[in-house]
Amino acid sequence: MTEDDTHRLAELGQRAAELVHQVRQPLFAIRGFVQLAEGDPAAAAAHLAQARAQLDVLESLVNGWAEMSRAPGPTDVFFDLRAPIDGALVLLQHRARTLGVDLQVHTGRGRLVRGSPQALQQAVVNLGQNALDVLQGRPGGALSIRVHDADVVIDDNGPGLAPEVLARLFQPFVTTRSDGTGLGLSVARAMVTRCGGVLVLERASPGVCWRISGLSG
C-alpha cells in the first residue's frame, strides 16, 4: 500500500465518522417521536408527522454529504440565510425541549447569501448539539442562535470549553465526554468553510459563543 493510499483511507475513515456523527441526532429524534406516538395514541399522528420530518432531514443530510463528496468545496448558490437556520431548529428543538434547555432562535429579516445551505445547517446543528451536551442537567440552561446581518451567532450559558479542548481546538476526536466522538467542532469548521465562511470562537468561558462570519451575497 502506498503512502497516498494510506492517506486516502485515513481521510475516508474520518469522513465516515463525520457522517455517523451527523446522522445520530435525526435518528435519536425519530426514535423519540415514535416512542411518544406509542405512549400517546391520541397525539400519535402529530408525533409521527414530526418523525417523518426528521426522516426528510436525514435524507437531506445523506444527500448533502454525497453531493459534497462528488464536488469538494463550497456549493455556489444563493439562499435565504433563514432557511438553514430554520432547518437546524427542526433538528435541535426536540432534544432541547427534552433536556429542559431554553432554545431561542432569532433570524430577523431575510438575507440572501452565497454558499452551501446544507453545509451551513450542518455547522449550526453541530455547534448547537455541543451546547446541548454541556447544558444537559444544568438548571437554567439556555442556548440562543441569532442572525446578525450575514453572521450567525451561537451562544450558550454553560461552563465553557474545557482547557484540554481549548488547547486542541478543531482537532478531530478530542472530547471530554465518554460517549462523545470529538468531531463536532472539526466538522462544524469544515462545513463553514464549505459554505464560504469562517468560524470564530468569540468567548470560551463562561459559556461558549461562536460566530459564523464571512458569508457574502
pLDDT digits (tens, 9 = 90+) for 58-92: 776 676 555 555 444 445 789 999 999 998 888 78
**Bigger pLDDT: 71 vs 110:** 110
**Alpha carbon distance 164, 161 (integer Å):** 8
Asked if pLDDT for residue 96 goes beyond 50, the answer is yes
In this predicted structure, what is the pLDDT of residue 172? Answer: 64
The average pLDDT across 179-194 equals 73
In this predicted structure, what is the pLDDT of residue 76? Answer: 75
Q: 99 burial class (0-12, 13-18, 19+ CB within 10 angstroms)?
A: middle
- Mean pLDDT of all residues in the chain? 80
The average pLDDT across 33-51 equals 87
pTM confidence score: 0.70
- DSSP-assigned letters across all residues of 25-55: HHHHHHHHHHHHHHH-GGGHHHHHHHHHHHH
Residue owning grid cell 408525533: 47
Asked if pLDDT for residue 170 goes beyond 50, the answer is yes
The average pLDDT across 27-46 equals 87
Asked if pLDDT for residue 121 goes beyond 70, the answer is yes
The average pLDDT across 102-129 equals 88
